[in-house]
Amino acid sequence: MTITGIHKPAGVRVETTDITETLLAGVVSHTVGIDPNVEREYSDGLPFPVRNTINSREDSIEFETLDVDDLLDLVGTIGQCVRVTTEDGFEFYLRKQDKCSVTGAAGSVHTKYAIKNGLMIPTNLSVSHRGNATMSARCEADEDASNAGIAITNNNALPSFASNKKRYTLGQTTLNGVSVTDMRSLQIAFGISIEKESADSAILSQYSNISEIGTTITITGVNPAIVAAAGIPVDGKALAHANTDFYLRRRGDTSGVSFEPDGDADHIKFTAAGLAVATTLSTGDSRSATETTLQIYCEYDGTNNPLVVSTGTAIT
């Protein structure tokens, strides 16, 4: 026997309405899950289950991509509803492989997972010194009168996923008006919790709603002086959008060592409000530089989302 069905991730196509389309390339990992909850029934004094029942199922698709700016434009920092009628909404494509072609099989031979009714949220964003930023997102499916969770179809043509060469790395950071230098990494945990409801013994969720957005930002650097009265004291510091920002700096589009000019509108800017605290004053060993870690617990200031993002902006 021979293997005939090897596939690899190809990309994501999202239509949040029937007329708005976003294509996401640069996918580096993914999980398509259905998470069935199986109840095993034991009775009559027998040690074996006499019945297995699927009581619930939570369909979702999660992926990680280098296409950070397009994903941020799509879901922002608080998520995006997927509600369509004539289109497939959220689509994740697998590219069928061909051992005689390094770019995959040709024609309508690929697999598609689609969610027509659901909620798409950002989960994590991370970037390290000299590395490229990646971002993860998840789409959770709801059941409605016409659609039941993830729809699976084979023998699809692939959309025209453009080769995405936009890459972002660490840029400058300012907390409470103080520049944070010597950074090594930046991580955003968007901290979004989804409340899922169902009734009438429906197996799939019928209603998804965001119940909590507890965004935290973790910054690690090699300069312990940031934890000081002029920076972030040991008892923490309140931050506001007006004095707190951090950037992802866009690399040049061609191979080599280059960045887009700071003054060009090509970079990504975040602002945040909340509380900054030092979680680790210093850690390391005798053979490496020590590291200091700060965390920002974002909060709502009455006007702005706790974390605000702007793509296509200059570094100022």
> How far apart are the C-alpha atoms of 311 and 316, rounded to whole Å?
14
pLDDT at 208: 87
Positive or negative: CA dihedral 50, 53, 55, 58: positive
Q: What was the pLDDT predicted at 305?
A: 97
Q: Write the pLDDT tens digit of every residue in 124-162.
A: 999 999 999 999 999 999 887 666 789 999 999 999 887
Question: Could you tell me the pLDDT band of residue 207, with boundaries at 50, 70 and 90?
Answer: confident
Q: What is the pLDDT of residue 103?
A: 79
Query: What integer pLDDT is reported at residue 24 of this predicted model?
Result: 93
Q: Which one, of 35, 76, 28, lies nearest residue 55 by Cα?
A: 35
Q: Residue 156's beta-bridge partner residues? A: 110
pLDDT (tens digit per residue) in 80-99: 988 877 777 899 999 998 87
Residue 230 has pLDDT above 70, yes or no: no
For 115-133, how does the pLDDT look when each residue is reduced to its tens digit (9 = 90+)? 988 899 999 999 999 999 9
Say what the pLDDT of residue 19 is.
60
d(CA 70, CA 135): 10
Closest CA to 72 of 32, 120, 132: 120
| Residue 115 bridge partners (DSSP) | 90
Q: What's the CA gap between 158 and 96, in Å, rounded? A: 10
Q: Is the pLDDT of residue 217 over 80?
A: yes
Q: CA-CA distance, 148 to 153, in Å (whole number)?
A: 14
For the cut 70, the answer to whether the pLDDT of residue 73 exceeds it is yes
pLDDT of residue 295: 96
Q: How far apart are CA 273 and CA 305, in angstroms?
A: 9
Q: What is the predicted pLDDT for the residue at 15?
A: 86
* Mean of pLDDT over the chain: 91
Tell me the mean pLDDT in the region 279-295. 92
What pLDDT does 18 receive? 62
Structure confidence at residue 227 as a pLDDT band (50, 70, 90)? confident
Residue % of the chain over a pLDDT of 70: 97
Position 152: which residue type? I
Is residue 274 a contact partner of residue 308, using CB atoms and an 8 Å limit?
A: no
The pLDDT, as a whole number, for residue 200 is 86
Q: Is the pLDDT of residue 268 over 80?
A: yes
Average pLDDT score over residue span 204-218: 92
Select from 220, 15, 215 the least CA-distant residue to 123. Answer: 215
Task: Name the strands in the sheet holding 110-115, side by side, starting at the edge strand that comes first in the sequence.
Answer: 22-24, 7-14, 90-96, 110-115, 151-156
DSSP string, 163-202: -----EEEEEEEETTEEE-SEEEEEEE--EEEEEE--TT-
Q: Are 76 and 119 in contact (CB under 8 A)?
A: no
Spacing of C-alpha 57 from chain mean position? 22
Give the pLDDT confidence of 246-259 residue by residue, as tens digits: 999 999 987 777 89
Per-residue pLDDT reduced to its tens digit, 40-68: 999 999 999 999 999 999 999 999 999 99
pLDDT of residue 2: 77
